[in-house]
Amino acid sequence: MSLSRPTHVLIIGYVWPEPRSSAAGGHMMQIIESFLQEGWHLTFSSPAGIGEHKADLAALGIAEVAIELNNSSFDAFISELAPDIVLFDRFMMEEQFGWRVEKHCPNALRVLETSDLQSLRDARHLQLKAHLKDHPEQDDFSRLFAPSPVQTFEHMADADLAQREIAAIYRSDLNLMISEYEIDLLVEQFHVPAALLHWCPLMVDKVPSEFVPFEQRQHFLSIGNFRHAPNWDAVLWMKTQVWPLIRQQLPDAQLHIYGAYTPPKATALHNPKQGFHVLNWAEDALAVMSNARICLAPLRFGAGIKGKIADAMLCGTPNVTTPIGAEGMHGDMPWAGAIEQSASAIAAAAVELYQNPQAWQNAQQNGQALLQARYLQSDHGPALVQRINACRAGLEQHRRNNFTGAMLRHHQHKSTQYMSQWIEAKNSARPLTS
């Protein structure tokens, strides 16, 4: 292979990226931009259907290739492409295509974009359901929000999803982690080697110095893809518990809820008399966020870090959230709003920020400081490229040091290969004629 050949990256996406619909889509585009700045050549492939808000990758010079599950056509495709780096978007893609990548491009660096730990999100969802069963009152969730890392591990460890996801992390050469909390959880509780993990949070190009002023803003805003279960749960909690408490103190206030792929069950909650407005997808999310006075993000479960909260800080909009919403986002720095653990405390903090210009201004400044210190693309983009290049340079030793990953690849990939080949043969078999 010629040394002058540009680095070629193949991305295998669980879905086609929709940066205006989800934080995961936005994060993928930020990673892509970091690669493009290096002059790398990119091909994006996915077995998923095309969503209505898909990013125009072709306009960025990125090749788009539809691929199929359990189909050997992928083998010919990747053999011809011969990528230097393969990035799996979500662990399910590593499960499906990892053995094919290893077989046909053994020297390609295998990177997993976790987006968030889905097994953590799932475990927390189950905990919430159990909590609501035992404590039907829906105000105080402090017990739910404050488990120790050991308790979190115990809730996750026996689940099939956790075993699958963490096995995929081991099988990959490098894993992009959006949350420092999740890095600590993997290293300290699951004993994943730190050498396999790289902190790659959401990224912003620059931090604005000026925003729409307090006096020109009005109303509350909540935003998030309705297909994402934590977002839908937050909407229900706002409807039944949080928003009525806010309206008691601010009877003219309105809550505007935006989200992609709004289902009928969400539209049914629309009630202008209560100031509760379900407004579907926002064409320009940053514009509506910039004109809102407060962002509400009362998340009762979830994982990763929250794009809606990063967007709020980018727009100078203070937010009120839970420990789940703020997790992994601010380190030891002051929060850009308020972090509360009950519906009543969330409502009280939201009303206070809505009515207190000085507290509002302080929260806004905290958001600016957070973005500047932790989320600049100019810091994280080059750091990501540097880490990838370092792994590529010492790949043989890197893999030797990860014996557990090699062992898991050997056993899982063989079984996946045979299952995939059986499914392909079954799908291609012609029905018998009489």
Judge whether 8-119+150-203+378-428 and 214-375 match in fold.
Answer: yes
Average pLDDT value over all residues in the chain: 93
Range scoring the smallest mean pLDDT among 111-115, 237-241, 405-409 = 405-409
Q: pLDDT per residue over 111-158, tens digit each? A: 999 999 999 999 999 999 999 999 888 899 998 998 899 999 999 999
Mean of pLDDT values over 400-408? 94
What's the CATH fold of domain 214-375?
Answer: Rossmann fold (3.40.50)
Q: How far apart are CA 115 and CA 377, in angstroms?
A: 17
Is the confidence at residue 430, as pLDDT, over 60?
no
What is the predicted pLDDT for the residue at 432?
Answer: 43
Mean of pLDDT values over 273-299? 93
What is the predicted pLDDT for the residue at 426?
Answer: 73
| C-beta neighbour count of 422 within 10 angstroms | 11
Mean of pLDDT values over 334-355? 98
Mean of pLDDT values over 368-396? 98
Residues 6+ positions from 90 with CB-CB distance below 8 Å: 13, 14, 113, 114, 115, 118
Q: pLDDT per residue over 70-115, tens digit each? A: 899 999 999 999 999 999 999 999 999 999 999 999 999 999 999 9
What is the predicted pLDDT for the residue at 433?
Answer: 46
**Residue 1 — very low, low, confident or very high, per pLDDT cuts 50/70/90?**
very low
What is the predicted pLDDT for the residue at 119?
Answer: 97
Is the confidence at residue 24, as pLDDT, over 80?
yes
Is the confidence at residue 251, as pLDDT, over 80?
yes
Residues 6+ positions from 230 with CB-CB distance below 8 Å: 121, 125, 224, 299, 300, 301, 302, 324
The answer to whether residues 388 and 174 touch, using CB atoms and an 8 Å cutoff, is yes
CATH superfamily, domain at 8-119+150-203+378-428? Glycogen Phosphorylase B; (3.40.50.2000)
Is the confidence at residue 4, as pLDDT, over 90?
no
Domain ranges of the chain: 8-119+150-203+378-428, 214-375
CA distances from 29 to 26, 34, 55, 230, 304 (A): 5, 9, 8, 22, 17
What is the predicted pLDDT for the residue at 282?
Answer: 82
| C-beta neighbour count of 426 within 10 angstroms | 9
Is the confidence at residue 18, as pLDDT, over 50?
yes
pTM as predicted: 0.92
What is the predicted pLDDT for the residue at 425?
Answer: 75
Is the confidence at residue 422, as pLDDT, over 80?
no
Planar angle of CA 12, 18, 22, nearest 5 degrees? 105
Report which of residues 415 and 69 the model is more confident about.
69
Q: How far apart are CA 199 and CA 215, in angstroms?
A: 38
